[in-house]
Structure 1
Amino acid sequence: MLRLRSSILAHLLPSSPATSPAPPLRRLLSVSAIAPAISPSAGFAAEDYLVATCGLTRPQALKASPKLSHLKSPTNPDAVLAFLAGLGLSGADVAAVVAKDPQLLCAKVEKTLAPNVAELTGLGLSRPEIARLVSLAGATFRCRSIISGLQYCLPLFGSSENLLRALKSGSVLGSDLERVVKPNVTFLQECGLGVCDIAKLYVIRPSPLSISTERIRAAVACAEGLGVPRGSQMFRHALQAVAFLSEEKVAAKVEHLKKAFRWSDAEVGIAFSKAPALLMRAKESLQRRSEFLINEVGLQPAYIAQQPAIVCYSLEGRLRPRYHVVKFLKENGLLMRDPHVVKFLKENGLLMRDPSYSAVFKEAEKVFREKFICPYKEAAPHLEEDYDAACKGKLSTNFRFT
């Protein structure tokens, strides 16, 4: 085994990138080829090893050490650490990987890790990309199944870079590929979803692709029943919204939408077809937005149904501050002084009795400030300061900006 570790170092380290392992890992690499292995009778202090050699904090090591309790010596962990260093992982990277998956130190280099790297290279991944994959894939990296998973996923994501980016938001390699993922992908392609949309569903945590094909079919039927047909622009979003809801929960959420926003069945369908995320909002959140938009702003239920995206915006961080800015400017006659703003208001119905506040709410933050804050710095010198405070939840009851 000593010769194996020496061979690993000699074979891998010359080709590794110029990285600077943390001191514990550097000490390991410098002595691993000459230090005798600890005999089984001497035991293996896993917690101390994780701290001194792998760079984990003491709490991390305390949590991880039970998963290494069966080890009798550092021989295999030494070999794994040398292998990771050969891939170009720094000491900090290794510490993060081991903290995430301590059992990686139990993986067999020659039987699993080295063959995985060889096949990943064959798939077109570079050494730096494989090093990133180690950090992102967790326990999946020490499984041979990662190869078939990547073979299938790479075409979906279009490139290894896209796949690695997706891995940051969730494990796209953890679901049963043959029995779950592939049948679901095939069915969704039959429903009209392209590979880009399917890839976006794949990275959601939890992913709709991870549920049974029977449930995904029921989710498709539910989305269609709520007014979002296959092939429509919002179909993927609708599928995401209902995939993990039972029929009873969907019905209950629809009833709450009808009650909170005073919508008819048809208006719920209109709203859901434009903003499926409504079904993912908590009852309390919807109720507060309803009270603000209908009772305070004065919007009609039918109008909100036609512009449902406004319900999904932050109430305290966006809707309420912007409404009070426009209200303040209108009440003080400031809006009419800027011809560009007047044109914008007329085009978006803001001079009508029932103002189209969706135009104000939907604007990007930078654009909103350019149109409704910057032109009035002289006339209302405290406007920007008070608006910033309101966005942080410090909106006073008067909100006068003066």
Structure 2
Amino acid sequence: MLRLRSSILAHLLSSSQATSPASPLHRLLSVAISPSTGFAVENYLFSTCGLTRAQAVKASRKLPRLKSPANPDAVLAFLAGLGLSGADAAAVVAKDPQLLCASVERTLAPIVAGLSDLGLSRSEIARLASLAAHRFRRKDTVSKLEYHLRLFRSSENLLRAMKFCDLISHSLERVVKPNVALLRECGLGDCDIAKLCISRPRMITANPELVQAMVTCAEDIGVPRGSVMFRHALHAVASVGKEEILLGCPAKVEYLRNTFRWTDAEVAIAVSKAPAVLTKAKESLQRRSKFLICELGLEPAHIAYRPAMLMYSLEGRIRPRHYVIKFLKENGLLKCDPSYYTVFKESEKTFKKKFIHPHKEAAPNLEKDYDAACKGEEPTNFRFT
């Protein structure tokens, strides 16, 4: 391990030394500071690290003991050796100014060596340094990432989750592991947990009491633990505000009930089949209700049992396809009356194959009009020649 760490450090430093004399890094390392004039931290952060003047002022307050550019120069060279651009390094320093005081040999190089041992590539470590910010230099970084790598099943999944949340800033023992244990009790396997947490990492980083409230909320809206849809229900619930979660999501459920004229049982059916309906904006739901119930004449119960209709784009999919079906009916081109659910759920290719292409001779402009409607160019009527 010691030889590996030494070789990594040597490689990174040799990479930086091989930098072109005209590069920012070479200029960075050749800055001369006169002992007689002292070391101006703020100016160094601005002129050498690339921080804005405002960032430099703020960051300098966290570096009262920094008296020389020697260690900061070594840190910046180390980051450059990892592959971070000047802008990326500046962003990292702005988030964690004290990184400039970290020892490359005793702190940063061992962490990079440990991450390499876990299978992370150099580019992945560079991305991690940008995402983890002030946590990257912590001694427990490697052990925490080892746990998360096992949980997320790949470094790519882990880094995708890190875009939404600094996972390694949360306690494994007090927060993450209790939440993971709860999710497993709900019937989710590690693969399901990984899929859930890639875009909703708060499911394992939030206070365990809040995560328990999310589980309860998912159950209360009619999705039982252990069901195929439970992960999707948790994903939807995790998108709702904290205050509403703690209250059991009553406001959104009540809104669905009133907007679509559903009974309690129908709300439960709709949410259990399509939990993501909870994430839809109220105005979006209102427009869908008006169109599906008032214009198309669909029964509320029909929609409740087919809530996927609420997930499709109203302007880019539902309306244009309605125009096509209406046109075909008015002109006697339909042999049978298809259900709107079938019409809306078909892929674009299948929809055209079933409802547009067979009528090219009778209605040569139908596809053109449909494509225009999908782009928002709502026609007053479809031409028939």
Q: Report the TM-score, using the length of structure 1 for normalisation.
A: 0.79
1:44 alignment partner, one of 40, 45, 49: 40
Alpha carbons of structure 1 residues 312 and 231: separation in structure 2 relative to 1, 3 Å:
same
2:344 alignment partner, one of 361, 372, 397: 361
Query: Letter of the aligned partner of 1:286 in structure 2?
Result: L
Aligned ranges 1:86-125 → 2 under 5 Å: 86-98=81-93, 101-125=96-120
| Cross-structure match for 1:296 | 295
| Cross-structure match for 1:188 | 183
For the pair 1:135 / 2:130, whether they are aligned, the reply is: yes
Report the RMSD for the aligned CA atoms in angstroms.
Answer: 3.3
Contact 1:191 1:231 in 2 (8 A): yes
Alpha carbons of structure 1 residues 143 and 379: separation in structure 2 relative to 1, 3 Å:
farther
Give the aligned length.
371
What is the distance in 2 between the residues matched to 1:90 and 1:175? Answer: 28
| Cross-structure match for 2:261 | 262
Give the drift of 1:68. Answer: 2.7
Alpha carbons of structure 1 residues 371 and 27: separation in structure 2 relative to 1, 3 Å:
farther
Residue deviations 1:104-131 (CA, integer Å, cap 9, x gap): 4344423432221122122222323212
What is the distance in 2 between the residues matched to 1:280 and 1:328? Answer: 33
What is the distance in 2 between the residues matched to 1:373 and 1:175? Answer: 55
Question: Which structure 1 residue ranges, 5 or more long, are not aligned?
Answer: 1-6, 337-350
Give the drift of 1:189. Answer: 0.8
What is the distance in 2 between the residues matched to 1:235 and 1:168? Answer: 24
1:151 alignment partner, one of 146, 151, 166: 146
Secondary structure in 2 matching 1:89: coil
Give the drift of 1:41. Answer: 4.2
Query: Letter of the aligned partner of 1:218 in structure 2?
Result: A
| Cross-structure match for 1:241 | 236
For the pair 1:62 / 2:54, whether they are aligned, the reply is: yes
What is the distance in 1 between the residues matched to 2:139 and 2:22? Answer: 29
What is the distance in 2 between the residues matched to 1:125 and 1:42? Answer: 40
Alpha carbons of structure 1 residues 282 and 14: separation in structure 2 relative to 1, 3 Å:
same
Alpha carbons of structure 1 residues 390 and 159: separation in structure 2 relative to 1, 3 Å:
same
Query: Letter of the aligned partner of 1:266 in structure 2?
Result: A
Give the drift of 1:78. Answer: 1.4
Aligned ranges 1:189-268 → 2 under 5 Å: 189-205=184-200, 207-243=202-238, 244=242, 245-246=244-245, 248=247, 250-268=249-267
Q: Please, which moves more after superposition, 138-147 or 287-296? A: 138-147
Alpha carbons of structure 1 residues 180 and 45: separation in structure 2 relative to 1, 3 Å:
closer
Residue deviations 1:299-358 (CA, integer Å, cap 9, x gap): 11111111111112222232222222332233334455xxxxxxxxxxxxxx34xx5222
Give the drift of 1:191. Answer: 1.6
Query: Letter of the aligned partner of 2:271 in structure 1?
Result: F
Alpha carbons of structure 1 residues 358 and 178: separation in structure 2 relative to 1, 3 Å:
same
Alpha carbons of structure 1 residues 144 and 383: separation in structure 2 relative to 1, 3 Å:
farther
What is the distance in 2 between the residues matched to 1:324 and 1:21? Answer: 66
Query: Letter of the aligned partner of 2:59 in structure 1?
Result: K
| Cross-structure match for 1:76 | 71
Q: Please, which moves more after superposition, 187-196 or 358-367? A: 358-367
Give the drift of 1:22. Answer: 9.1
Alpha carbons of structure 1 residues 242 and 166: separation in structure 2 relative to 1, 3 Å:
closer
Alpha carbons of structure 1 residues 174 and 307: separation in structure 2 relative to 1, 3 Å:
farther
Query: Letter of the aligned partner of 1:357 in structure 2?
Result: Y
Query: Letter of the aligned partner of 2:84 in structure 1?
Result: L
Give the drift of 1:223. Answer: 1.9
Secondary structure in 1 matching 2:265: helix
For the pair 1:12 / 2:12, whether they are aligned, the reply is: yes
Contact 1:22 1:92 in 2 (8 A): no
Alpha carbons of structure 1 residues 237 and 219: separation in structure 2 relative to 1, 3 Å:
same
What is the distance in 1 between the residues matched to 2:12 and 2:358? Answer: 62
For the pair 1:400 / 2:368, whether they are aligned, the reply is: no
Contact 1:55 1:91 in 2 (8 A): yes
Alpha carbons of structure 1 residues 23 and 359: separation in structure 2 relative to 1, 3 Å:
farther
Alpha carbons of structure 1 residues 394 and 22: separation in structure 2 relative to 1, 3 Å:
farther
For the pair 1:25 / 2:6, whether they are aligned, the reply is: no
Secondary structure in 2 matching 1:299: coil
| Cross-structure match for 1:3 | none
What is the distance in 2 between the residues matched to 1:295 and 1:144? Answer: 62
What is the distance in 1 between the residues matched to 2:251 and 2:86? Answer: 51
Contact 1:37 1:75 in 2 (8 A): no
Question: Which structure 2 residue ranges, 5 or more long, are not aligned?
Answer: 1-6
| Cross-structure match for 2:3 | none
Alpha carbons of structure 1 residues 170 and 378: separation in structure 2 relative to 1, 3 Å:
farther
Secondary structure in 2 matching 1:309: helix
What is the distance in 1 between the residues matched to 2:221 and 2:14? Answer: 60
What is the distance in 2 between the residues matched to 1:378 and 1:38? Answer: 85
Contact 2:84 2:126 in 1 (8 A): yes
What is the distance in 2 between the residues matched to 1:99 and 1:14? Answer: 26
Give the drift of 1:99. Answer: 5.3
